[in-house]
Chain A
Amino acid sequence: MEHDDLDRFLSDDEIVPSSGFAARVMEAVRAEASAPPAIPFPWLRALPGIAAVAVAFFAIVAGFVALGRSGVDTPVSTSLTLPPGTEVTWLIVVALLCTVPVVVSLRITRGHS
């Protein structure tokens, strides 16, 4: 097939829109205009939760790194032994971390109701 033939066949491939096309488009546009705007994600409200998750994540990573480092210098222990008195502190920290997402979720749902 010649170069010009290709140009001809690919150039004159035209149709005319159906008579009701513009009306259908305007109907869709009006529906779009009357639809309520999309609800934006509540970044401000979610921020404390995201920050709490980030802090918890980094704390866990830091804990593992610290454990790994101590493991290089000291003999491997099968159980994690904490200094006396720190168990309660850790329990309080974990409990507080668990309440953060609950509180944030409650605040968000109350804001929408």
Chain B
Amino acid sequence: MSAAEDAQAVDRVLQGDLSAFEGIVRRWQGPLVNMAYRFCHDRGRAEEMAQEAFVRAFRGLAKWRRDAVFSTWLFALAANLYRTEIRRIPPRTVALDQIIEPADPSRTESGLEDEDRRRGVRRAVQSLPSKYREALVLFYFHDMDVATAAQSLRLPEGTLKARLARGRDMLRRKLLHGTR
């Protein structure tokens, strides 16, 4: 589905064709769930937050002004909702699906080490102040595209760059001193 098809689907939904929204959901469910997962690292909660984002998008579909592509509007709406949700109920340091994950015997030692380091990075990211954490989460979610991440956060690019630099600096220091 292209940006034009997104716009057509939105028009159909606004004319009362509810089934057209299913195309939007199928197209954007992966990105929206993944964005939520990066905020909370809990699959169940990520899907709940993404569902709420879709419902809010449906409710506010008429407010999409078409000055940007649909996905930009949708990501900004979702990012705003996720930020509020995470500030309201912060995620646990270690999510349940990480604890009960069975060990894979075929994994090499370096693979396990990699996984440990990945978890360490996640924990360090979660411990950052929200404005730096949000900047990092959205920057990496958008494949390190500053302009798109800034649009999602509704921030000027310069502000985002400054937060990224400061956030990465804090993250590196935390990891260096083992503050996990």
A75 at the A/B interface (Cβ < 8 Å)? Answer: no
Q: Which residue of B lies closest to A30 (CB)?
A: B18
Q: How many A-B residue pairs have CB under 8 A?
A: 80
Q: Mark B51-65, 1 if CB is under 8 A from A, else 0.
A: 100110011000000
B171 contacts partner chain A, Cβ-Cβ < 8 Å = yes
| Interface pair A10/B33, CB less than 8 Å apart | no
In B94-148, the 8 Å CB interface with A consists of: 117-118, 121-122, 125, 136, 140, 143-144
**Is A21 positioned at the interface, with any CB of B under 8 Å from its CB?**
yes
Q: Please count how many residues in chain B sit with their CB below 8 Å of the partner chain's CB atoms.
A: 34
A22 to B51 alpha-carbon distance, docked (Å): 9
Contact A25 B171, CB 8 Å, known A11-B143, A16-B30: no
Contact B43 A15 (CB under 8 A): yes
Q: Are B125 and A10 in contact (CB under 8 A)?
A: yes
Check A25–B25 contact: CB distance below 8 A.
yes
Residues of B within 8 A of A (CB): 18, 21-22, 25-26, 29-30, 33-34, 37-38, 43, 46-47, 50-51, 54-55, 58-59, 117-118, 121-122, 125, 136, 140, 143-144, 168, 171-172, 175-176
Apart from A15-B43, A22-B26, what 10 extra A-B contacts exist at CB < 8 Å? A9-B118, A9-B122, A13-B37, A13-B122, A15-B34, A15-B37, A18-B47, A21-B50, A29-B55, A32-B55
